[in-house]
Amino acid sequence: MNSIHYVGFDVHKKRTSYCIKLQDGTIVEEGEFLSRPAALDQWCHLRTMPWEGALEATLFSDWIYDRLEPHAVELSMADARKLDAIGKAKKKTDRHDARMLADLLRCNLIPACYVAPAYIRELRRMLRFRNLLVHQAVRMMNCTAGLLMQTGVSYNKEKLHGKRYFGELLDSLEDVPESVIELLRYSRAATELFINTQRRLLDKLRDHPRLCERVAVLRTIPGVGEVTALTWVLEVGEHERFPSARHAASYCGLTAAFRESAGKCQRGPISKQRNAHLQTVLIEAAKLAPRWNPVLAEVRERALQRGNRNQATLTVARKLVAYLLAVDRSGQRFQMPETATPETEAATTKTT
């Protein structure tokens, strides 16, 4: 019974508290160490008994997990939203949090979340940074247009962000304060920096040997582009984690919250418990995919007859998730299904 230790880690940016317990709840050791690689290595080398561990998922838990995982019999990453036992405790300290994690672990009650392989997390970090640069580039473009409108300068909206047109426009400005011209140069330089950097990151992701084949197969789905395929692969990680398309759609934040109590059922808005990055990309793709995919176009038209545009977009996005999951599982090129009918669509929705 006491041949293995159960360790709860309460991780923070500077220090990490830990508590080691036996199967019967006896505390063997507790304390804290610096949240630094050398300190973690030293703590692991001092262990003389096999141990299982659990830590809460936070912004800086990834590298701690990677450092501890080779030394543990099993290491779990706990979903912070489901750790109600800690969040609702009357007395909450780092020491008590570590004890509670150890107790949940030895009782097999840890709400473990999925931890993607290290290379997936590394590439996912690059993709999310690329998306941030895209948003910043759009902000700078809007800032450029705003500066011109504030000074009453007329311009061609479609050509404004072209390098040659912007240079000619800047040289032709008259009766414009010098400070505005300087700000226009700054905003243009920032826009070019953001655009060029995000393109380099996208090229690096596109050419990665562990992603090429999987992304290429997903792109055979009409309406699925390069960014959508990359986002699916890197945010989902291993597709085996989803037993059905319904689970995948729920993870993507495309389903409504559901509450049942005393025989009463209530559907709420789209759940906030989702992968926000994947949700954003799929919803944007669902708005454009019907232009190239006739089946998705029919799905959208039928959904528009039953509800509003937002509901139609969500219906298309859920269908797109089913396509992505099916192609990812099979590893085969997408085969366009026959024209969908309301009956076949309902049957597909029921089975997925």
What is each CA distance from 324 to 17, 127, 235, 259, 329, in whole angstroms?
Answer: 42, 19, 13, 28, 9
Please report which confidence band the pLDDT of residue 1 belongs to, taking 50, 70 and 90 as the band edges: very low
Query: pLDDT digits over 242-255, tens only?
Result: 999 999 999 999 98
Q: What would the mean pLDDT of 310-314 be, rounded to a whole number?
A: 92
Please report which confidence band the pLDDT of residue 346 belongs to, taking 50, 70 and 90 as the band edges: very low
d(CA 197, CA 133): 8
3-state SS class at 160: coil
Q: Could you name the CATH architecture of 5-106?
A: 2-Layer Sandwich (3.30)
| Residue length of the chain | 352
Where do the structural domains in the chain lie, given as residue ranges? 5-106, 119-206, 212-257+273-351
pLDDT of residue 254: 92
Residue 147's φ and ψ, nearest 5 degrees, are -65, -40
pLDDT of residue 202: 95
Q: Read off the tokens for 45.
A: 């080398």
| Strand ranges in the chain using DSSP code E only, listed in sequence order | 5-11, 15-21, 27-34, 51-56, 74-78, 256-261, 264-270
- For the cut 80, the answer to whether the pLDDT of residue 340 exceeds it is no
The residues with which 51 forms a beta bridge, in sequence order, are 5
pLDDT of residue 88: 75
CB atoms within 10 A of CB 294: 13
Return the closest-CA partner of residue 120 out of 279, 239, 254: 239
pLDDT of residue 347: 39
- For the cut 80, the answer to whether the pLDDT of residue 130 exceeds it is yes
* Greatest alpha-carbon span in the chain: 84
pLDDT of residue 264: 83
The model carries a pTM of 0.88
- For the cut 60, the answer to whether the pLDDT of residue 285 exceeds it is yes
CB atoms within 10 A of CB 328: 20
Q: Read off the tokens for 104.
A: 């949940």
- 255 DSSP 8-state letter: S
Which H or E element spans position 76? Answer: strand 74-78
d(CA 219, CA 320): 12
Q: Is the CA virtual torsion 277, 196, 121, 217 positive or negative?
A: positive
Q: Read off the tokens for 72.
A: 């543990």
**Contacts for 164 with CB less than 8 Å, ≥ 6 apart:** none
Mean pLDDT rounded to a whole number for the chain: 90
- For the cut 80, the answer to whether the pLDDT of residue 134 exceeds it is yes
d(CA 286, CA 315): 9
Return the closest-CA partner of residue 253 out of 286, 225, 230: 286
Please report which confidence band the pLDDT of residue 175 belongs to, taking 50, 70 and 90 as the band edges: confident
pLDDT of residue 86: 72
